[in-house]
Amino acid sequence: MWEIDSESGAYVRGMRAGTSAKGTFFENYTLEFDTKIDKGGIGWTVAFPVASPAGGIQLNLVAEEQPYVNANKTIFQLNTVVLGYGYSFVNSGATGGTGSELSLMTSRISLSIDGTEVFNVTLRDYPIGEARNPGGIPDTLGSWGFGGWQDQAGWFRNVVVYDTKNGTELYRNPMTDASDDGVIREYGVNKNRRAACLDGPKRDRLIWLGDFLHTTRIIGTSTTRYELARDTLQTFVDWQTPTGLMPYAPPLGYNPDTDNLAFARGGGRYFGRANDVYEIILPDYQILGVLPFTEYVRRSNDLAFAEATWDSWKSNLGFATDNINSTTGLLQLFGAFLGPSNGGSAVNCALVEASRSMAHVAQALSKDVDARMYESIATKLASAINKELWNEEMGIYGLSTAEMNDFSVSSMAFCITSGTASPSRANRFLSLLPQLKLKPGYKDSTKSNSSDPATNISPNTNGFLLSALVAQDTGKAAETTLNLIKSLWTPMLSNQGTSTGTSWEYVNQYGDPGLGLFTSLSHPWGGAPTYILTEWVAGIQAAIGTAGFGYRNWNITPSAGVQMGLKDVHARVVTAFQGDLEVHWQIKQKVMQVTIWAPKQTSGFFKLGEFERKLSGSHMYSFKVPM
């Protein structure tokens, strides 16, 4: 990404600026550096929070000549400096040069090139309307970084930072250290420290804590590259804060040993240095992040990893359980991705599921006290949900205690898969699913505007819904599952102009990428059918609880596949017991021929309707089932 030369410094191509974590808590400073434009111009940032979705000040020095015919000469006029905030720019005329000095002082910003002042303005003249910043103007708190717009490229070296008021030197870096722990590590542009499963790898360089559940399940039923899942989980642990929180999207190119505090507390003035950003931005990801850990352990039976990181995940889930309101018995968070954060049904049911799954891992590790604690938390929370959030008249779990007449895909999914809903309540709740139908899938909630063409369908939440649907083991649920897979996921494969062979981030109402050209077309949070087909259509499932860890005990229950009208199905998973678990079933003339291969040291159970058979002591089982 960056090339480091022992004399010329850092060669930086067009990219979002790589930002130094060392300047996270600096403000009112002067940044000085040498630069040489190679192609088109160079860009840099100042007062940029490293740990917040909020933006910072960015500048771009445009060359006197442009080598590219597609260069935007309206915004990036030749021989100018472009001043902007976030991702928007306004122009300020300038002359070209090689030595740049930019000063921040309270609410002013000034720039000099080769000793000639280019501008000296008050930031109040450039309001950004950002409520997180005092007065709605760009702040002067945050770090600096170097990048470039589109195909620009240039050199940076001899970076020095001074206190603008008294001239004290605060930072110096010649930008010539080419080691792995040198410039590229400091500015976050180094290679990944570990294997990483990314969402949107063609667009972003991000692991999302709350999105990783689908990915873990996909790995377990496809490539079985469990080392990728393990290293991704370890990355979250590496960046965990002393308060137990894990980053919703850990900074992959940085060093967690030195930069942990910068990213946990460096969210800018709005968040304050005393607050972990992770408890404010997507705090329900702390719950959703526990689930891929327990799912990984359940599938791989990697108890060594579970033991080594147990205290980290226990501390992490403790953040959520500590936020259960003692009066209502329900979870209260600052915000949430899944839905309402204060007494919301989706986040509460997700916490039930996370707590129960942690109880299973604790049992496998012989941590009986922890197992009882998590089972108790899950039981009490489920009871509170059924008391406070079930709307008996409508037959729904309300969106929240304040919105009892609305419901969502996420609340439906997690309240069923967590076991919070009884079978009868699950059936009543699912009967209202048509109210959420919106062309290729189901909209987020009853509050989503079906008339707005911008309302998208989420393969992420619809994927969780698939699990809740197919588990009902009824012909109607199987039909609805199949129809949803066909309507929502077929467009991802059928349109040659947008098909990548992988799942999308969002889908619009016409079956196209939901965010236009920005849509990630390689987003595993949308890949739920991969594991649904193996586990429910073919019917290969690990037994419930610790007995099923690593598929030591397994079930083959192909009823959903039969109800969908399939006649010939073949699927396989890798077990933790020196072999694969494989099933092939075929229906001919009202008879199902079943063949199962499994490691001898495992045991299983086949069930289809009233037909049941226990299986153990062999590596192959073959039998017929009358239909």
In a domain, 195, yes or no: no
- Residue 358 to residue 22: CA distance in whole angstroms: 37
pLDDT digits (tens, 9 = 90+) for 192-210: 999 999 988 878 888 999 9
Q: What pLDDT was estimated at residue 204? A: 81
CA angle centred on 83, ends 82 and 89, rounded to 5°: 80
Last residue of a domain, one of 510, 531, 552: 531
C-alpha dist (Å) from residue 329 to 321, 325, 335, 339, 484: 10, 5, 18, 18, 35
SS3 of 44, please?
A: strand
Q: What pLDDT was estimated at residue 94? A: 42
In a domain, 291, yes or no: yes
Region 581-598: what's the mean pLDDT? 98
**Residue 238 contacts residue 247 (beta carbons within 8 Å):** no
**Residue 2 contacts residue 133 (beta carbons within 8 Å):** no
Structure tokens given for 270: 């709005």
What torsion do the CA atoms of 156, 162, 277, 316 make, to the nearest 10 degrees? Answer: 80
Region 82-109: what's the mean pLDDT? 66
Region 126-155: what's the mean pLDDT? 87
Q: Do 580 and 489 belong to one domain?
A: no
Smallest CA-to-CA distance from 47 within 105, 99, 87 is with: 105
Region 443-466: what's the mean pLDDT? 98
Domain count, the chain: 3
Domain holding 379, by residue range, is: 209-241+276-531
Q: Do 169 and 216 belong to one domain?
A: no
Reported as a pLDDT band with limits 50, 70 and 90, residue 105 is confident
Structure tokens given for 9: 């410094």
Q: Do 217 and 74 belong to one domain?
A: no
**Residue 246 contacts residue 239 (beta carbons within 8 Å):** yes
Last residue of a domain, one of 470, 499, 531: 531
**Residue 83 contacts residue 43 (beta carbons within 8 Å):** no
Q: Do 292 and 411 belong to one domain?
A: yes
- Residue 384 to residue 351: CA distance in whole angstroms: 12
In a domain, 404, yes or no: yes
Using only C-alpha atoms, the chain has a radius of gyration, in whole angstroms, of 27
Q: Do 551 and 525 belong to one domain?
A: no
pLDDT digits (tens, 9 = 90+) for 381-393: 999 999 999 999 9
In a domain, 270, yes or no: no
User: Cα-flanking dihedrals φ and ψ of residue 179, to 5°?
Assistant: -70, 165
Domain of 570, CATH number, reads 2.60.420.10
**Residue 138 contacts residue 27 (beta carbons within 8 Å):** no
Q: Do 97 and 138 belong to one domain?
A: yes
Reported as a pLDDT band with limits 50, 70 and 90, residue 87 is low
Region 313-333: what's the mean pLDDT? 98
Last residue of a domain, one of 515, 531, 547: 531
Q: What pLDDT was estimated at residue 89? A: 60
In a domain, 202, yes or no: no
Q: Do 140 and 171 belong to one domain?
A: yes
Q: Do 237 and 370 belong to one domain?
A: yes
Reported as a pLDDT band with limits 50, 70 and 90, residue 91 is very low
SS3 of 376, please?
A: helix
Q: Do 493 and 615 belong to one domain?
A: no
**Residue 114 contacts residue 120 (beta carbons within 8 Å):** no
Helix and strand counts by DSSP (H, E) for the chain: 15, 24
Q: Do 619 and 493 belong to one domain?
A: no
Smallest CA-to-CA distance from 616 within 595, 592, 598 is with: 598
Q: What pLDDT was estimated at residue 95? A: 40
Task: With a cut of 60, say whether residue 366 has pLDDT above it.
Answer: yes
Q: Do 177 and 315 belong to one domain?
A: no
Q: Do 491 and 589 belong to one domain?
A: no
Q: What is the largest CA-CA distance in the chain?
A: 90
CA angle centred on 271, ends 106 and 519, rounded to 5°: 105
In a domain, 268, yes or no: no
